[in-house]
Amino acid sequence: MIEVLKQHIIKRLGNNIANLDTVLAKFKQIKTKRNEQLLQQGNVCKYVYFVAKGCLQVYVYDKNMNETTRDIVI
């Protein structure tokens, strides 16, 4: 799946990217199950995610605990 990320970066920035391999080495592939949460409420996000396959829903809760979708990433 790192190859998908590599092709995404090349598509956006071109073929001559300094330190591309260094940047790619910082990414680690993870697989999640449907409805698995990547970040729990109250925790600080410490990572940047790239969705190579599937989709990701980004949502927040308001003060009344109503869920609002902020983004859907494909």
Q: What is the pLDDT along the chain (74 residues), one digit of tens a residue?
A: 788 999 999 998 888 788 888 889 999 999 999 999 999 888 999 998 999 899 999 999 899 999 999 999 98
- What's the confidence (pLDDT) of residue 16? 78
Per-position DSSP letters for 3-59, written without gaps between them: HHHHHHHHHHH-S--TTHHHHHHT-------TT--SS-TTPPP------SSS-EEEE
Report pLDDT for 42.
87
pTM of the model: 0.71
Measured between alpha carbons, how far is 53 from 14 in angstroms, rounded to an integer? Answer: 22
**Torsion sign over Cα 31, 49, 54, 72:** positive
Closest CA to 56 of 28, 29, 34: 34
| Residues paired with 25 in a beta bridge | none
